[in-house]
């Protein structure tokens, strides 16, 4: 008897194994990988993982599906994601290439699971640049597949490419690609998904990518250029149906003026927070603050603040408003990154923020 019960399954996890035995073995592994203890058990057996990876391209779609589900579960933990990342196949030196190939294959039935695996692996901060090395040559094709809602012919929606792109944009190289690759084209393709009502996953990933871009002040003028109309897409999810006085309405981006009475704000509080964090970052330099004021961002946030109930989101909103309502001679710095805040003051501000959130949510 083998010391490791999983060793008994190896004979059933080969492409040439009987179909019914492959099904039984994979069903067992799907159930096992759904628990933390089961994942730890699987991660001790590299052979099992390699066999499962091979079966993701099995000629029987149900077998391939279950193999992919096992890997989705394994990569949901950082340890599992790192272990899957270092695996190799006979065809690909880099396991990411295999899953990217599934995503870019319009006839891959379970490409959504491949997207989830890629999204899980790209969350690994210490492996991000390794991932970027593989992804960069494929980014145009991946983005084209993402924006084509009907790209996959077998029912996969590829929604999880959005958080994957957001994860990748934590790398400066990806942010630079987004800003420099056929300038404006990648973001012009991505921006409409900030308002994509059919999937909060796509919305969140698109807005998360913009938020990450906003952390680099070198890209702020690009982001706020008239060619992109970023504020139109960024503000729409937090804009309601309120009526504004004419002088305020005229300042808003044209697409946000005179919205219908049934216009609703985004229901996902995490999406709303990311938008507010992005606006805050865009206030880092004087140019950004002036663009936001000129586009009536304060008026939209004023109405949004009346509506919002979440303490963290309210605080994020107030942080932006506090900047925008000041005149530039009151702000005290053209660029906030040049301001040195003492450690004791930083701690004091964090405590004040905590107390504010607690007071709202009591």
Asked if residues 68 and 29 have their Cβ atoms less than 8 Å apart, the reply is no
Residues 6+ apart with CB under 8 A from 181: 139, 140
Mean pLDDT on 33-51: 92
Q: Looking at residue 238, what is its pLDDT?
A: 98
Least confident of 28-37, 103-112, 149-158, 346-355: 346-355
Tokens 């190289």 map to which residue?
173
- Tell me whether residue 267 is exposed, middle or buried, using C-beta atoms within 10 angstroms of its C-beta: 0 to 12, 13 to 18, 19 or more: exposed
What is the number of helices (H) and of strands (E) in the chain? 22, 0
Within 10 angstroms of residue 180's Cβ, the number of other Cβ atoms is 11
Within 10 angstroms of residue 342's Cβ, the number of other Cβ atoms is 8
Whether 344 has a pLDDT exceeding 60, the answer reads no
Mean pLDDT on 27-34: 94
Distance of CA 169 to the CA centre of its chain: 9
Q: What 3-state class would DSSP assign to 335?
A: strand
Q: What is the rounded average pLDDT for all residues in the chain?
A: 91
Tokens 């494929």 map to which residue?
138
Distance of CA 309 to the CA centre of its chain: 24
Residue 9: pLDDT band by 50, 70, 90 thresholds? confident
Q: Looking at residue 5, what is its pLDDT?
A: 74
Q: Looking at residue 337, what is its pLDDT?
A: 63
Residues 6+ apart with CB under 8 A from 116: 72, 75, 160
How is the chain split into domains, by residue range? Answer: 1-168, 198-362
- Give the architecture (CATH level 2) of 1-168: Alpha Horseshoe (1.25)
pTM of the model: 0.90
Q: What 3-state class would DSSP assign to 66?
A: helix
Tokens 């004091």 map to which residue?
348
Q: Looking at residue 345, what is its pLDDT?
A: 46
In sign, the C-alpha dihedral spanning 141, 146, 149, 150 is: positive
Least confident of 15-29, 98-112, 234-248: 15-29
Does 35 or 92 have the greater pLDDT score? 35
Least confident of 3-7, 33-37, 249-253, 271-275: 3-7
Mean pLDDT on 329-345: 61
Whether 1 has a pLDDT exceeding 50, the answer reads no
Q: Looking at residue 331, what is its pLDDT?
A: 75
Mean pLDDT on 160-186: 95
Residue 352: pLDDT band by 50, 70, 90 thresholds? low
Residues in the chain: 362
Mean pLDDT on 189-212: 96
Structure tokens that stand for 236 in this block: 């729409």
Q: Looking at residue 89, what is its pLDDT?
A: 74
Question: How far lies 51's CA from each of 43, 214, 277, in Å?
Answer: 13, 42, 43
Compute, in degrees rounded to 10, the torsion defined by CA atoms 13, 15, 17, 22.
50
Asked if residues 283 and 324 have their Cβ atoms less than 8 Å apart, the reply is yes
DSSP string, 271-290: HHHHHHHHHHHHTSBHHHHH
Mean pLDDT on 213-236: 96
pLDDT digits (tens, 9 = 90+) for 76-127: 999 999 999 999 877 777 899 999 999 999 999 999 999 999 999 999 999 9
Mean pLDDT on 213-222: 96
Whether 212 has a pLDDT exceeding 80, the answer reads yes
Residue 358: pLDDT band by 50, 70, 90 thresholds? low
Q: Looking at residue 349, what is its pLDDT?
A: 45
Asked if residues 156 and 103 have their Cβ atoms less than 8 Å apart, the reply is no
Residues 6+ apart with CB under 8 A from 61: 109, 110
């Amino acid at each position: 008897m083998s010391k490791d019960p999983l060793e008994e399954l190896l004979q059933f996890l080969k492409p040439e194994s009987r179909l019914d035995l492959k099904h039984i073995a994979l069903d067992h592994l799907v159930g096992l990988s759904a628990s933390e203890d089961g994942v730890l058990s699987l991660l001790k057996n590299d052979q099992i993982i390699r066999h499962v990876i091979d079966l993701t391209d099995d000629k029987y779609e149900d077998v391939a599906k279950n193999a992919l589900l096992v890997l989705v579960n394994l990569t949901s933990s950082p340890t599992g994601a790192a272990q899957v990342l270092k695996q190799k196949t006979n065809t690909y030196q880099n396991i990411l290439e295999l899953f990217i190939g599934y995503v870019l294959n319009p006839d891959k039935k379970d490409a959504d699971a491949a997207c989830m695996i890629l999204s899980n692996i790209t969350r690994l901060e210490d492996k991000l640049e390794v991932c970027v090395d593989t992804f960069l040559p494929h980014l145009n094709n991946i983005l084209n597949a993402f924006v084509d809602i009907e790209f996959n012919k077998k029912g996969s929606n590829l929604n999880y490419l959005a958080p994957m792109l957001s994860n990748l944009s934590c790398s400066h190289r990806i942010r630079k690609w987004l800003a420099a690759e056929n300038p404006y084209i990648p973001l012009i393709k991505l921006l409409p998904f900030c308002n994509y009502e059919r999937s909060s996953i796509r919305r969140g990933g698109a807005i998360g990518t913009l938020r990450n871009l906003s952390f680099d002040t070198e890209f702020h003028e690009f982001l706020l250029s008239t060619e992109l109309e970023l504020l139109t897409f960024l503000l729409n999810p937090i804009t309601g149906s309120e009526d504004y006085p004419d002088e305020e309405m005229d300042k808003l981006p044209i697409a946000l003026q005179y919205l219908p009475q049934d216009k609703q704000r985004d229901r996902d509080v995490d999406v709303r927070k990311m938008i507010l964090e992005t606006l805050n970052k865009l206030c880092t330099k004087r140019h950004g603050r002036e663009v936001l004021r000129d586009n009536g961002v304060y008026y939209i946030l004023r109405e949004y603040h009346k509506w919002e109930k979440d303490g963290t989101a309210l605080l994020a909103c107030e942080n932006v408003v506090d900047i925008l309502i000041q005149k530039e001679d009151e702000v005290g710095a053209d660029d906030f990154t040049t301001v040195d805040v003492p450690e004791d003051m930083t701690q004091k501000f964090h405590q004040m923020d905590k107390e504010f959130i607690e007071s709202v949510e009591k």
